[in-house]
Amino acid sequence: MRSLPADLAGLQQAYAYPADGVWLRANMIASLDGAAWFGDRTERLGSPGDRRLFLALRGMADAVIVGAETVRVEGYGPVKRSGEDWQALRGERPATPPLAIVSRRLDLDLDAPVFTQAPAYARTILLTTETAPADRRTAAEQVAEVIVAGRDGIDFPRAVEELAARGHRRLLCEGGPKILARAAADGVLDELCLTLSPMLVAGDAARILNGPQLPEPARLRLAGLYTEDDFLFLRYRR
């Protein structure tokens, strides 16, 4: 079993996106007993290695998809540069990728830093629905790029198509579990990067997918396995 690469450049090589096409990967963490968080926060399950991978996967992505509830609970802001190797991850692309927030009703604080502090080249994107309140949509369009991707709920194939049409081919989903469950159910999840934390937490935290049972289990194949400080870093591909 190999050790997790110690730098962003090594992680870029180990977790490279396919050269062509649109690709949606998810990055999640879970305890040994399957909890997706502890005390409402994923970071309490993590480690320096998990954080390093988190930053590298962000640096490789063209856009980072995340649910509105995760933005609120985790206190998300715009993606920021990290470390001397960061620019190597970006290449000729803009310095940071935009966040693409999934919000069916657009019930977000539009004055929050995730909107007001996003640079012009990585303006925050809102993936929403046709039934979102018209006044909220009008207000959101002042601080974000609004993409309608579904009527009553988010249609993930449509969302991925809309993002790809804007040049966002390498996509990263950071959850939460309801968002990831929807992406899996819609058949657009190509890859899962799962950090297995050596912790037992019990309680009632959701699993990394929290939604209706899939009609058939989605079978993935192991594409990478690394370890550091008793954590396992698993990479599965469709």
The C-alpha atoms of residue 161 and residue 22 are separated, in whole angstroms, by 9
Please state the domain extents for the chain. 24-237
Is it the case that residue 150 has pLDDT exceeding 90? yes
pTM: 0.97
The C-alpha atoms of residue 122 and residue 125 are separated, in whole angstroms, by 9
Please work out, in degrees rounded to the nearest 5, the angle formed at the alpha carbon of residue 236 by the alpha carbons of 209 and 23. 85
The C-alpha atoms of residue 37 and residue 179 are separated, in whole angstroms, by 15
3-state helix, strand, coil in the chain (%, to 5): 30, 25, 50
**Looking at residues 201-213, what average pLDDT do you find?**
95
Q: What pLDDT was estimated at residue 22?
A: 98
**Looking at residues 111-127, what average pLDDT do you find?**
97
Is it the case that residue 208 has pLDDT exceeding 80? yes
The tens digit of pLDDT for each residue in 130-147 reads 999 999 999 999 999 999
Query: CATH number of the domain at 24-237, please?
Result: 3.40.430.10
Is it the case that residue 28 has pLDDT exceeding 80? yes
Is it the case that residue 172 has pLDDT exceeding 90? yes
Q: What pLDDT was estimated at residue 83?
A: 77
Q: What pLDDT was estimated at residue 59?
A: 97
Q: What pLDDT was estimated at residue 84?
A: 78
The tens digit of pLDDT for each residue in 34-62 reads 999 999 889 999 999 999 999 999 999 99
**Looking at residues 163-183, what average pLDDT do you find?**
97
Average pLDDT along the chain: 96
The C-alpha atoms of residue 222 and residue 149 are separated, in whole angstroms, by 31
Is it the case that residue 1 has pLDDT exceeding 90? no
Tell me whether residue 219 is exposed, middle or buried, using C-beta atoms within 10 angstroms of its C-beta: 0 to 12, 13 to 18, 19 or more.
Answer: exposed
